[in-house]
Chains A and B, each alone.
Chain A
Amino acid sequence: MNALADIAIKLLRQREVGLVLLILLVTAIVSLVDPGFLDDRNLKDILVRSAPTVIVACGVMLVVVTAEIDISVGSLMALLAALMGLMISHNEWQLSMWIGIPTVLLCGTLIGLLTGALVTLGNVPSIIVTLGLLTAIRGATTLLMGGENIDGLPDELQTLSKVGPAGMPLGVWTAVAVLIVTQIIITHTPLGRRLFALGSSDYSARMTGLSATRLKLFAFAYTGFLTALATVVDVPRLPKIESGIGSGFELLVVTCVVVGGVSIAGGRGRLGGVVLSVILLTMVRPVLTFLDVGEAGEKWTKAIQGLFILIAVITDTVVSRSRRGGARNTSSRGTQVAVPRDATGGPAA
């Protein structure tokens, strides 16, 4: 009995297990009400809507893993969408797609690098830097678009973004590719392990000779690049580019990363949890549609998303408390032993 409970607790500590259970539960309930929920088209729709969030969350996750944060991705997406629209729309500058798209990707990366430079070299807290950029970039976007919406993107791009290879939109394929690459970075490259090491203990990282500056610069630049990528593959899906694109996106992404089990204090987190939490939070709206609660019900989307986050946060605290309680006997003694402190009591100044 006890052993079973132990196993259950251990499993529930894995964020992924909880998320999968929650997703299955919600799916089961909704498909009982309306079997159409399990329809290919609907499932595909959920995937398509999740794709840009997944892509960007891969970057933001790495930023959060190093104990920083990026809340500027929504605005950045709007700016890059506007830039892309202006360059390649046949109503605007009519540049070739092969010039426009690489430029957008490059701009995204550069802005990410700039963010990272302000954080590491400028020594300004990342929450402030990205808050400032959030505001400034949004303004720049509206200015750039001059109050007009942009349409007339090249047809190939629009088609690809809706129906790509094997009937799946380009966004979904890109998301899969980005997931694979990010997973490889995390588990199979020195870079990824160092990002986690830095977030786990910056003191130990210093003792080991890791460069916090370079690692963080990479994380921010990667986020910028992925934001550009998400823009390129997902925005053409929309009928036109408006200046309001991506507002609130930054908080959704950070939310997904946190609900997915990435520690805001750095050093901990898995990609699987992030993907699952993106799917869970994206599901909320279609679920409400299928429950046939009508317009009225859909207005509750945000509230339900918010409650999911609160639940995640509270269970996390409760679970980690029980873990700490269990480990206290062994660790408390050790931590004090471990602090060698002879004669280090000089003045700080």
Chain B
Amino acid sequence: MSIADFMKRFPWWHEVILGVLLAGLLSVVGVVNPQFLNLKGQLLLSRHLWEFALLALPMTLIILTGGIDLSVGASMGMCAVAFGLCHANTGSLALSCLVCLLIGTAGGAVNGWLVSRMNVHPLIVTLATYATFRGLAEGTSQGESYSQFGDGFSQLARGMWWGVPIPAYLFALMAITCALYLSKTPSGRYIYAIGHNELATRFSGANVDRLKFRLYTFSGFMAGLATIIYVSRFDTAKADAGTGFELDVITAVVVGGTSIYGGRGNIGGTVLGLLLIHETRLFVSRQWQIEELRSIVIGLLLIGSLLLYRVVRPVHRD
């Protein structure tokens, strides 16, 4: 086997590249700013990460089928307003959380219905619901922000168990569930198969439409869940919750090695992608105290990583 052949067949390129990039970044950081690398500080700083980490899980599954969900950020806005309104009217946190999850799931189901039953391109569907969800949030809340949910509630996002932020446990649980679902269940296998060749998957008897519907609905549910954490962290529920999250989330997933055409990628890659982006942001904003550099670096990282993958592995376009 020639070296070029080996390079083409080696299945873990994305993970290796990501690992090397991450290690490189961390060692640079270690030299430049040793205090930055301490674990406790890192865990404290990680609280910015969890909401969009939660969203990255369903996004990975959706992109693996060759789809996309641009509406997750807007969906968070809608969920946040639902949460705030419910709390303002009933005073019940439990009920508010439930409503928040329900609204998110319903929004996801609308996406799923349009994509799977009406056969509309996911990009168009979620572009439309992107505007609709955010608009509904702005309309119903009238720009008002809801707050004062109590200290107990804000502990959900800010609290620590054994030195680890509570949302981290939630993320770990969901990530492991998704990873198992993707790698071990028949549906997980179908997700990859759809991404590579939807027609052959239909010929194999898989219920492709139902599976897609479920994935988009799940994405909506996770937006609801992320909103709860978000609201808890800021102790504020406002229509602008999650603005721009969809881009960060997609960036993390794609940098994590998931092919935008579907069929290739995994949850592990997405976790690495999330970490890489998170650390890059922290480091850049720490080091130069310039917030804007962050988005430049991340935008370039997104394009650069794909160019790099192209060099290592040839395109697989159907």
A residues touching B (Cβ–Cβ < 8 Å)?
Answer: 69, 118, 122-125, 127-129, 131-143, 251, 254-255, 258, 264-265, 295-296, 299-307, 309-310, 313-314, 316-317
Contact in complex: A299, B138 (CB < 8 Å): yes
13 A-B residue contacts at CB 8 Å? A125-B306, A131-B247, A131-B299, A136-B298, A139-B292, A139-B298, A140-B296, A255-B128, A299-B142, A302-B134, A307-B135, A309-B131, A313-B125
Contact in complex: B114, A136 (CB < 8 Å): no
CB-CB < 8 A to B148: which residues of A? none
Residue among B68, B127, B254, B299 making CB contact with A251, cutoff 8 Å:
B127
Task: Let me know if B268 is at the binding interface, CB within 8 A.
Answer: no
**Beta-carbon nearest neighbor of B260 in chain A:** A125
Contact in complex: B127, A135 (CB < 8 Å): no
Task: Let me know if B300 is at the binding interface, CB within 8 A.
Answer: yes
Chain A CB within 10 A, most for which of B119, B123, B130, B292: B292
CB-CB < 8 A to A302: which residues of B? 131-132, 134-135, 138-139
Contact in complex: A135, B139 (CB < 8 Å): no
Contact in complex: B138, A303 (CB < 8 Å): yes
Complex: A273 Cα to B310 Cα, angstroms: 37
Contact in complex: A306, B133 (CB < 8 Å): yes
Contact in complex: A306, B129 (CB < 8 Å): yes
Contact in complex: A138, B295 (CB < 8 Å): yes
Chain A proximity of B300: nearest CB distance (Å): 5
Q: A128-B254, A128-B260, A128-B306 are in contact. Are A139 and B299 (CB under 8 A)?
A: yes
Excluding A122-B307, A139-B299, 16 further A-B contacts by CB distance (< 8 Å) are A129-B303, A131-B247, A131-B251, A131-B302, A132-B251, A136-B296, A136-B298, A139-B296, A251-B131, A255-B128, A302-B135, A307-B132, A309-B131, A310-B128, A314-B114, A316-B120
Contact with A along B201-241 (1 / 0, CB 8 A): 00000000000000000000000000000000000000000
CB-CB < 8 A to A309: which residues of B? 127-128, 131-132
Contact in complex: B142, A139 (CB < 8 Å): no
* Interface size range of chain B in the complex: 35 or more
Q: A138-B295, A306-B128 are in contact. Are A118 and B303 (CB under 8 A)?
A: yes
Near A by CB (< 8 A), chain B positions 133-187 give: 133-136, 138-139, 141-143
Ranked nearest first, the 6 interchain pairs of A and B with the lowest CB-CB distance are A136-B299, A303-B135, A306-B132, A302-B135, A139-B295, A306-B131
Chain B proximity of A275: nearest CB distance (Å): 20
CB-CB < 8 A to B251: which residues of A? 131-132, 135
Task: Let me know if B264 is at the binding interface, CB within 8 A.
Answer: no
Contact in complex: B118, A135 (CB < 8 Å): no
Contact in complex: B306, A143 (CB < 8 Å): no
Q: A313-B114, A313-B124, A314-B118 are in contact. Are A125 and B261 (CB under 8 A)?
A: yes
Chain A proximity of B3: nearest CB distance (Å): 18
Contact in complex: A143, B303 (CB < 8 Å): no
Complex: A295 Cα to B310 Cα, angstroms: 50
Complex: A302 Cα to B301 Cα, angstroms: 31
CB-CB < 8 A to B37: which residues of A? none
**Beta-carbon nearest neighbor of B248 in chain A:** A135
Contact in complex: B139, A299 (CB < 8 Å): yes
Complex: A313 Cα to B111 Cα, angstroms: 12
Chain A proximity of B235: nearest CB distance (Å): 23
Complex: A127 Cα to B254 Cα, angstroms: 11
Complex: A122 Cα to B292 Cα, angstroms: 26
CB-CB < 8 A to B290: which residues of A? 143
Contact in complex: B303, A132 (CB < 8 Å): yes
Chain A CB within 10 A, most for which of B118, B139, B303, B315: B303
**Beta-carbon nearest neighbor of B306 in chain A:** A124
Complex: A310 Cα to B118 Cα, angstroms: 12
Chain A CB within 10 A, most for which of B123, B125, B133, B295: B295
Residue among A128, A138, A255, A310 making CB contact with B303, cutoff 8 Å:
A128
Task: Let me know if B121 is at the binding interface, CB within 8 A.
Answer: yes
Task: Let me know if B294 is at the binding interface, CB within 8 A.
Answer: yes
Contact with A along B81-124 (1 / 0, CB 8 A): 00000000000000000000000000000000010001111011
Contact in complex: B310, A310 (CB < 8 Å): no
Q: A124-B307, A128-B260 are in contact. Are A264 and B247 (CB under 8 A)?
A: no
Complex: A323 Cα to B262 Cα, angstroms: 30
Complex: A264 Cα to B125 Cα, angstroms: 11
**Beta-carbon nearest neighbor of A255 in chain B:** B127
Complex: A118 Cα to B114 Cα, angstroms: 31
Task: Let me know if B250 is at the binding interface, CB within 8 A.
Answer: yes
Complex: A306 Cα to B68 Cα, angstroms: 18
Chain A proximity of B12: nearest CB distance (Å): 20
Task: Let me know if B293 is at the binding interface, CB within 8 A.
Answer: yes
Contact in complex: A300, B139 (CB < 8 Å): yes
Chain B proximity of A271: nearest CB distance (Å): 20
Contact in complex: B302, A139 (CB < 8 Å): no
Chain B CB within 10 A, most for which of A131, A133, A255, A265: A131
